[in-house]
Structure 1
Amino acid sequence: MKQTVGQILGKAGIRIPLILWSLAVLYPIFWMFLGSFKSNAEIYRNPWGFPETMNFQNYIDAWANYGIGTSVINSLIVTLVGTALTLVLAIPTSYAIERVNFRGSHLLFMLYVSAMMIPMVLGWIPLFFLLMDLNLLDNIFGLAIVYAVSQLPFTIFILTTFISTIPRSLEEAAAIDGMSPYGVLWKIITPLSMSGIITVTIMNAIQFWNEYFMALIFLQNSKNYTLALAIDFISNEAQYTNAWGTLFAGLVIATVPVIVLYAIFQRRITKGMAEGAIKG
């Protein structure tokens, strides 16, 4: 069937702004990628053009001379430990809130939900002194614990929604067969909630990988810097040493894993969030 002029204009009115927005978002990333292969002279001479040669020296300098390599390892450790700890704490808590009948379960859930509304900045000073007392200040594992706790309310909120839709009859049948409550949790509830678990895992991992302010407050030794702090250091140095190509290279190293991760699991994230919204 032929489309009417109104339908064509309606589709164009939706698509054109989306295309313009996509170009506005993608162009700085593309420009950053090109700049990572330029020398300082090329950046000043032709900042918007293509590099004359593919110069990888900026990546070598960023990795070796500015500590990006060490920071990548630190960020990877913090992200993996923080994400795993969040799941270990959130999955049993979500199951207990949703399935175990105890006085105050609804109140506990509301406390977790309300904690999502509290700005994390209000807890930075108390956390600083708490980590100092526990000898976890300037420690990447201490930072991972803070990350995990900060994302618990969001993770519990999402997982509780998924667990609430699982039929109780499956748990009752497993209990009749002699399965323990822990077996029910890890062998029945967890696999059936895998869509929600994958969603919160990816979103938490991206959050931990990119986080800057808490790392800035709780980490002091440059050897413990995460990737965000290392890039901030390069940015400050670039103002005096003109290491703009090295800065662009560091930004590419930090950005590409997030883009690849989101591109691979984008459908899973969208599906998980949509299912959580519908089930909720």
Structure 2
Amino acid sequence: MTKFLTGAAVRIPLIIWSILVVFPLIWMFIGAFKSNAEIFSSPWSMPETYNFGNFVSAWVDFSIGSSFLNTIFVTVLGTVLCLAFSIPTTYALERLRFKGSEVLFNVYLASMMIPAVLGWIPLFFLLMNMNLLDNLFALSAVYAISQVPFTIFILSSFMGSVPKELEEAAAVDGMSPYGVLFKIVTPMVKTGIITASILNAITFWNEYFMALILLQTESKNTLGVQMDLLSTNAQYESAWGALFAGLVIAVVPVIIFYAIFQRHIVKGMTEGAVKG
């Protein structure tokens, strides 16, 4: 009896939490196929006829299509740039052990504690002076740099577990330091790289505030900013079906992406914790 009560005490809150999370998603999916009249007359019922025109309207009329492609661009480029910055930096901090390396590593970790909002205004004026406002490449670079401390934090435990004897043997055979990094160390920390990349990609895909501040042309908006505009327009144009469809377009890739790679995330975080 005690075991049953203990199990129920754990499961019941989880079931309630799952319902609270899943129900709005189901309602959103159902609403994406309804007409405006159905949404107002019977918001909780299934659609009488499945209206795929909402997706066409959201994609074309409300520019969700172009913002979807913009988001893919900044997410992929930001993730690649973040790895390009973080992998050599982590290796230098973890292996070279130069004077002040521990202090620098702690500075990187401490920067994770600083609220991002404190840097938005200086960043805006910096990019404005460099003529980089309303630039998707600049936004990708900002995304990448903002996640470098977190990526270093993830990769450091993995690189610290790579046997130094392998690097020394490669160096004796004449391999350059860059060769040791990219041909020996990097393949051995693949799990950590995949984990950091997935978490960074999801962060970049869902980011809203920096895109809102740094982008000024509607044709360059990311999904978060464009969905905000669509939610405003829906109130005046009765485009609630298009709004639900746009939300589905924005959410489904993240759900699929996480469903495919969630094992890698769990594996990476677990191995990193053990190795660290």
- Show structure 1 runs of 4+ deviating over 3 A: none
TM-score by length of 2: 0.99
The separation in 2 between residues aligned to 1:81 and 1:268, in whole angstroms, is 21
Instruction: Give runs of aligned pairs for residues 148-167 of structure 1, distance below 5 A.
Output: 148-167=144-163
2:192 paired with 1:196 = yes
Name structure 1 gaps, 5 residues minimum: none
Q: Structure 1 residue 176: deviation in Å?
A: 1.2
1:30 and 2:26 aligned: yes
Question: Which of the numbers 253, 260, 275 marks the counterpart of 2:256?
Answer: 260
**SS in structure 2 of the partner of residue 47 of structure 1:** coil
1:143 lines up with 2:158 in the alignment: no
Q: How many Å separate the matches in 1 of 2:176 and 2:189? A: 19
**Whole-angstrom CA distance in 2 between matches of 1:67 and 1:141:** 20
Equivalent position of 1:178 in the other structure: 174
Give runs of aligned pairs for residues 41-52 of structure 1, distance below 5 A.
Answer: 41-52=37-48
Q: In structure 2, the residue corresponding to 1:42 is in which secondary structure? A: helix
Q: Percent identity?
A: 61
From 246, 269, 272, give the equivalent of 1:273.
Answer: 269
Alignment counterpart, residue 106 of structure 2, candidates 82, 98, 110 = 110
Q: Which amino acid aligns with 2:231?
A: S
Q: What is the letter of the counterpart of residue 199 of structure 2?
A: M
SS in 2 for 1:7: helix
Residue number in structure 1 paired with 2:91? 95
Q: Quick one: which of 171, 183, 188 aligns to 1:187?
A: 183
* Residue in structure 2 matching 1:224, options 197, 220, 229: 220
Aligned equivalents of 1:136 and 1:229: distance in 2? 18
The reply to whether residue 85 of structure 1 matches residue 86 of structure 2 is: no
In the other structure, the counterpart of 2:241 is: 245
Correspondent of 2:201 among 198, 202, 205:
205
- In structure 2, how many angstroms separate the alpha carbons of the residues matched to 1:214 and 1:135? 16
**What aligned pairs does 1:62-77 form with structure 2 within 5 A after superposition?**
62-77=58-73
**TM-score (normalizing by structure 1):** 0.97
How many residue pairs were aligned? 276
Distance (Å, rounded) in 1 between the aligned partners of 2:131 and 2:138: 9
**DSSP 3-state at the match of 2:147:** helix
TM-fit CA distance, 1:278: 2.0
For 2:21 and 2:275, the matched residues in 1 are separated by 32
Aligned partner of 2:51: which letter? Answer: N
C-alpha distance in 2, partners of 1:252/1:188? 42
Question: Which deviations, in whole Å up to 9, do the C-alpha atoms of 1:131-166 show, x marking residues without a partner?
Answer: 112211011111101101100110011111110011
